Amino acid sequence: MEELLEVLKKVKPGVDFENNSNLIDEEILDPFDIVSIVAAINEEFDIQITAKDIVPENFNSIDKMYALVEKLEEE
């Protein structure tokens, strides 16, 4: 989780990822941010987030993003 947090802070500094579970709903992250986060996560964790995984539910909180990373690492 700490590794993911560091990636997120590099992409979007100043966002409180740890205490916000509505990153998409509250428009804290915009579509460009999501694309940047996907690219950074893919590179950092050596996984491939596909178009079917890029849905608001997977990016609304750090917990959801972490669950997605764990799921893709298992595949």
10-residue mean pLDDT profile of the chain (75 residues): values are 96 95 95 97 97 96 98 95
- What pTM did the predictor assign? 0.94
For residue range 38-56, what is the model confidence (pLDDT) as tens digits? 999 999 999 999 999 999 9
Per-residue confidence (pLDDT) for residue 60, from 0 to 100: 97
Q: Are 28 and 11 in contact (CB under 8 A)?
A: no
Domain range 2-74, its CATH number among 1.20.1050.10, 1.10.3720.10, 1.10.1200.10, 1.50.10.10: 1.10.1200.10
Per-residue confidence (pLDDT) for residue 21, from 0 to 100: 93
Q: Where are the domains of the chain?
A: 2-74
